[in-house]
Amino acid sequence: MDHAADAHRTDLMTITRFVLNEQSKYPESRGDFSILLNHIVLGCKFVCSVVNKAGLAKIIGLAGETNVQGEEQKKLDVLSNEVFIKALVSSGRTCILVSEEDEEATFVEPSRRGRYCVVFDPLDGSSNIDCGVSIGTIFGIYMVKDDHEPTLDDVLQPGKNMLAAGYCMYGSSCTFVLSTGTGVNGFTLDPSLGEFILTHPDIKIPKKGKIYSVNEGNVRNWDGPTAKYVEKCKFPQDGSSAKSLRYIGSMVADVHRTLLYGGIFLYPADKKSPNGKLRVLYEVFPMSFLMEQAGGQAFTGKQRALDLLPTKIHERSPIFLGSYDEVEEIKALYAAEEKKA
């Protein structure tokens, strides 16, 4: 038995240690935020373990219901949603929860209430479960403005007001990516320890990328700037090589690859979905927050994504996010289109 190697394994930067280190930078901190993050991490570990057993446990069949977005709910969706609601309420640090699976927001009873609002998609990409494609949990955290009775307005805020955002991807490994507003860090679950270990410190997205990620099956419904940008990716006029297309169809997996390798992820508006398909609060905002923190950009076709002010909890928006220079190109194409109009 290699005792030296075992000793080294205990000197690792776990996510708990990382969060406590961050907390120590704020002497006035009461530790509420750290407790909340701990509960989110616990929920992710539980879902990871269930996802890994999905085929065996026969829980991947349809639950026979349709969620508020008109998507067929898998049993795992239902379970993951319950897991996160329970984990967040039992933390005693939340007051409003918005989940992709629930039509209405959940208001935590006063006796268990805290100062944070959490918006989340408990299992993004769940239609991919049966074929083993990476799926994930996405979340964002707001703080309630003042000491008042919490209302939906505390959640319907621009993404730039988020305190933290992140996702957990359940794939070939279980990866937790987090930003608390001072950069982006990635953690990987060590199953033998049951701990998330810091494996990707201070993630920075490359300024340019060689990959574009979009569902090209919708091409005939796109607007001019999107079609022009994708055409440029495939047939560049400046003599550079064409970009590679990579599209998984699971937002967490596509954004994770974009964050690490650079490039751009597009889910534009089109004739079928004039407001886009992705939900603002728990898909567009958290991923845009992470992209900006990693040095990239996120744009809706009209404005910076994090400046959007949602009016409904399940509102949708087009989104272009990724490497700084790639998003600049998209912005220039939309600006040119506006001038013509």
Where is 334: in which H helix or E strand? Answer: helix 324-340
Which CATH number is associated with domain 3-200? 3.30.540.10
Where is 46: in which H helix or E strand? Answer: helix 32-52
DSSP code of residue 108: P
**Among 272, 323, 269, 278, CA closest to 301:** 269
Residue recorded with tokens 């959640």: 155
Fold of 211-339: D-Maltodextrin-Binding Protein; domain 2 (3.40.190)
202, 183 contact by CB (below 8 A): yes
How many Å apart are CA 191 and CA 221, to the nearest integer? 44
Distances (CA, A) of 114 to 90, 104, 150, 157, 265: 10, 19, 10, 18, 35
Output phi, psi for 336, to 5 deg: -65, -40
Which runs of E-coded beta strand occur in 180-220? 185-190, 195-200, 211-213
What pLDDT is recorded for position 127? 82
Mean pLDDT of the chain: 91
**64: confidence class by pLDDT, cuts 50, 70, 90:** low
How many Å apart are CA 67 and CA 5, to the nearest integer? 48
Mean pLDDT of 266-289: 96
Q: Map out the domains of the chain as residue ranges.
A: 3-200, 211-339
Share of the chain above pLDDT 90, in %: 77
What pLDDT is recorded for position 188? 98
Distances (CA, A) of 57 to 28, 43, 300: 46, 19, 40
What pLDDT is recorded for position 4? 59
How distant is the alpha carbon of residue 181 from its chain centre?
14
pLDDT tens digits, 117-174:
999 999 999 888 878 889 999 999 999 976 788 999 999 999 999 999 999 999 999 9
Planar angle of CA 169, 19, 126, nearest 5 degrees: 15
Report whether pLDDT(7) > 70: no
